[in-house]
Chains A and B, each alone.
Chain A
Amino acid sequence: MRTINFTLNGEQVSAHVAEHQSIVEILRDRFDLFGARESCAQGLCGCCTVLVDGTAVSGCLYLAAFANGKSITTVEGLATNGKLTPIQEAFLEVGASQCGFCTPGFVLMAGQLLEAHPDPDDDDIRHYLSGNLCRCAAYPEIIAAVKLAAGRLKAGTT
């Protein structure tokens, strides 16, 4: 067991963790954050996505011990004071969630995509989101939502 100190959605926190525990377990059991969820537990579906120092990782494979000194962002940390991000707004408007279990992972990865490619084409979108699975297959709507968000973000910054 060891104690880790890290920033969680902008707040300084600490936790006592075992070596084998993953960050999703800790987020769920110690911090009541359920948005990153374990599904495949093998780094293959993206349901457990969290940002570590701004980069998306599979939380099911990322050991909690590694979070020491880092900054972790979960989907719950995106909206501020109840105001959704443009990506969340777009997912909501387009109807890019069905059961919603995969949605946090897609929202976070879409954020990574738009940081790297503010004006993505279909291939960029498919490439960036290829590691996220959606069994409900809301893929066409997810692509539409990413485009909508990209357009709005661009309009907002120019």
Chain B
Amino acid sequence: MATRTIGSGQVGRSVPRLEGAAKVTGRADYVHNIRLPKMLVGKIFRSTVAHGRIKSLNVSAAKALPGVYRVVTIDDIKTVIPNPFYGPAFHDQPILADGKVHFVGEPVAVVLATDPHIAEEAASLIEVDYEELPAVFDEVEAMTSKAVVHDELKPAGTFPDLKHLKGKKDTNIALDFHLRRGDPNKAFAAADHVFEHTFRSQQVLHVPLEPFVSAAELTETGLTIHTASQSPSFVRIEISRLLGWPENKVRVKVPYLGGGFGAKLYIKLEALVAALTLLVRRPVKISLTMEEQFYTLTKHAATFRIKSAVKNGKITGRDCEVWWNGGAYADIGPRITQKSGFTAPGPYDIDNVSIDSYSLYTNLTPAGALRGFGIPQLVWAYESHTDMMARALRLDPIEFRRNNILRDGRAQATGTQMKDAAVEQVLDRLALRMNWTAPFERGTGPVKKGRGIAVGFKASISPTTSIAIVNVAADGSVTLYCSTVDMGQGSDTANAQFVAEVLNVPAESVKVVHPDTDVTPYDMATLGSRSLYHMGNAVRLAAEDAKAKLSALAREVGVPEGSNVPVAELFQKKYKMQAGNIIGTGSYIPNYVPPDANGLTPEATPFWMVGGTGAEVEVDTETGHVRVTKMISVADVGRPVNPRIVETQLSGAATMQFGFTMQEKIELDGGQITNASFADYKIPSIVDIPRDMQNEAVESEQGTGPFGAKGVGESGTFGVSPAIANAIEDACGVRLTELPLTAEKVYRALREAQGRPLED
């Protein structure tokens, strides 16, 4: 990827990761490494039924096992946290099951011991008697099902748009978002063609190689939580709410994360370890196993019914109905339903739009954010649909898109004007890199070749705040304090580059202090590709503040404007010794206007992310096997701050979505996950990935971003699934509308097309 540096040459340079050496020597700091004096470890006993009332819970055998320190249930938890329910949108999730279980794998009790093997053995001795209740697993069924997951809805007070749901009964709908623009009915009545399709995406999950892990300890001043979390500030605020303590009694520390991808947000194990530590007055650590990640958080399975009106090659109306399978607890699902829901019509210029987006409770593992915050599920549907329309209309899929694309200055479905969103450029570059206008070799014999493209977009989560502190020491060395979590995306390095650019020092010399809520200021969370933009702006402001204060110091000590006196000398002149600091602060919150009753707003997002994918495939029509031979990711990331890291983010995101497209799926049997291990749930390995992977960031600038930059961690995911499905149809004429795109599905579809369907 081309290098485009500016000013001091720090932004736009492929600075090697600041922590690179620690990572290649195995010495990087993770919560995994933490051991505290007199620490107990906890093992969780989990529910075996999808929906049931707990009739009795017998922990006596577990307690009696030698080496067990204590067995804890919700009754114990309530002695330290009387109202033990948490969640970012709804306070619906209990720290341990409270009278009822709502999914298989829900935590019911915890065994504490110094030896994890003993704790595990004891957990297996716990016995529960359930009265099983009717359960619902499918998101569309959950709309009308008699099985109701929660007795009543409990929205958190923080979101005004959820208030009306408080205390609602007999529904599984956690949130319904509606948008109406123009007059879709009229558009459909006047159309030359109307197309309607339904697409489904399956339940998958993050599986960071470092599973969830948290530890807590009591200190003189309160409680310290060491946690692999993407949202230290949220953890602090939510734990202090649960305990009824001031924020400053709760300290949350986060070192590096062994991957996050949206899993490690909000509260996961933190409330549990906090409560356990308060109960036993000893440090407690819980490290989940790989299997337990399947019972903690997944991506939303979704069903999307999309209908379009086309007149003279233009899309004139679009109806979108999306059902999100939120699982047993809302987590951040309601926000996905709305904040991603409003982009459901895609990056197209359509005057008449209606969107109905529903967040549903079901008796499955809770669903939350996963690299794209709902966007990949939407793009999967609208870009498959776009291709199917182009094909039916005998139009070139790129030309059809170009005729309908949402250009800067035009209003998106919400009414918010597009700005700095290089949709057309992404499409152009994709076409060029795919050599679209050249004849394409289709293959001979049973192996057929095809190609496809797709382009999607995403709004940023708004309104959210980031705050940063830049500290210049008396020798001129610089330290940055911020609560952005480096989980592999390279935020430490990028933020150091921003500071370095402003203060004109090498990025490698900037120290970045990791999130520690006693030390680093508030940040909403590291999610949704928001950090480079929001924290980046805060960091830039903090560095500029420090720079202004350094200039003031220079004036104060009589150094003439523009002279090149080293910073250390300024301090020396003022304090007569190596002493003092300059502290710069920066705080950033973008403008935002909440949607009106029709879902419309002039200011829906501070920036747009755009990502497109091109894929070439070979389909073996005798077996249905699909080989993706080429995968091209093109994105608008604004100005690439660190071209090499941008590239790894694009290809990493694309590969993750490639797994969700081709192979990953949580298999269920009556709500029980039957493939909760890497033996059966296969994530992409080095042999699975396409041989030819290319990445490109188009030339662009985000006007409001720090040095023209914006987020990049998710854009590579957007187009992958539909680009491959489009390529498969191009190769062999069959259309799949349900993920993943397995050989079996392709083969079944081929047989169906030949009029010789396979039996189930």
Contact = CB atoms under 8 A, between A and B. Distances in A.
A42 B19 CA distance: 29
Interface in A9-46: 18, 20, 28-29, 33-37, 39-42, 44-45
B21 A135 contact: no
Given A39-B210, A136-B259, A88 B686 contact: no
B678 A45 contact: yes
B24 A91 contact: yes
Contact of B683 (A42, A127, A133): A133
A97 B19 CA distance: 10
Contacts of A141: 648
B312 interface: no
A35 B289 contact: no
Contact of B488 (A29, A93, A136): A136
Interface string A72-87: 0011101100001000
A152 to B, nearest CB: 15
B689 interface: yes
Contacts of A40: 290, 677-678
Contact of B211 (A39, A44, A97): A39
A99 interface: yes
A148 interface: no
Contact of A29 (B35, B207, B208, B687): B35
A99 B16 contact: no
A92 B652 contact: no
Interface in B257-285: 257-261
Contacts of B686: 125-126, 129-130, 132, 134, 139, 142-143
A139 B259 contact: no
Interface in B1-58: 14, 16-17, 19-28, 30, 32-33, 35
A35 B652 contact: no
B91 interface: no
A34 B29 CA distance: 9
Bin the interface of chain A by size.
Answer: 35 or more
A93 B23 CA distance: 12
B290 A84 contact: no
A102 interface: yes
Contact of B23 (A78, A97, A132, A137): A97
A138 B22 CA distance: 17
Contact of B678 (A29, A126, A129, A133): A133
B487 interface: yes
B256 interface: yes
Most buried by B among A74, A99, A103: A99
Contact of B209 (A20, A45, A92): A45
B313 interface: no
Nearest to B642: A95
Most buried by B among A36, A132, A140: A140
A100 interface: yes
B656 A88 contact: no
Contacts of A78: 25
A86 B472 CA distance: 35
Q: How would you classify the secondary structure of chain B's contact residues: helix, strand, loop or mixed? A: loop
Nearest to B15: A95
Contacts of B488: 97-100, 136
B298 interface: no
Interface string B282-299: 000000011000000000
B26 A42 contact: no
Contact of A126 (B16, B117, B687): B687
B517 interface: no
B26 A136 contact: no
B651 interface: yes
B30 A101 contact: yes
B468 to A, nearest CB: 22
B684 interface: yes
Interface string A106-120: 010000000000000
A97 B209 contact: no
A104 B290 contact: no
Nearest to A34: B33
Contacts of B500: none
A90 B259 CA distance: 22
Nearest to A96: B24
Contact of B652 (A98, A103, A122): A98
Contact of A74 (B26, B289, B656): B26
A99 B678 contact: no
B644 interface: yes
Given A100-B258, A126-B686, A137-B689, A88 B24 contact: yes
A76 B290 contact: no
Given A99-B258, A130-B686, A130-B687, A104 B20 contact: no
B651 A44 contact: no
A135 B25 contact: no
A103 B24 contact: yes
A135 B26 contact: no
A74 B26 CA distance: 9
Given A37-B210, A95-B16, A44 B490 contact: no
B628 interface: no
A47 interface: yes
B683 A98 contact: no
16 contacts: A20-B117, A34-B32, A37-B30, A37-B210, A42-B290, A44-B679, A75-B25, A84-B25, A92-B16, A92-B20, A92-B24, A95-B644, A100-B23, A100-B258, A101-B258, A107-B24
Given A84-B25, A88-B25, A107-B24, 20 more contacts: A36-B26, A39-B211, A41-B289, A42-B677, A44-B678, A91-B24, A95-B14, A95-B16, A95-B17, A95-B648, A97-B24, A97-B488, A99-B257, A100-B256, A101-B208, A102-B209, A130-B687, A133-B678, A136-B259, A137-B651
Interface of B: 14, 16-17, 19-28, 30, 32-33, 35, 117, 206-211, 256-261, 289-290, 487-490, 644-645, 648, 651-652, 655-656, 677-679, 683-687, 689, 691, 693
Interface of A: 18, 20, 28-29, 33-37, 39-42, 44-45, 47, 74-76, 78-79, 84, 88, 91-93, 95, 97-104, 107, 122, 125-127, 129-143
Q: 3 closest Cβ contacts across the A-B interface?
A: A35-B26, A99-B488, A101-B258
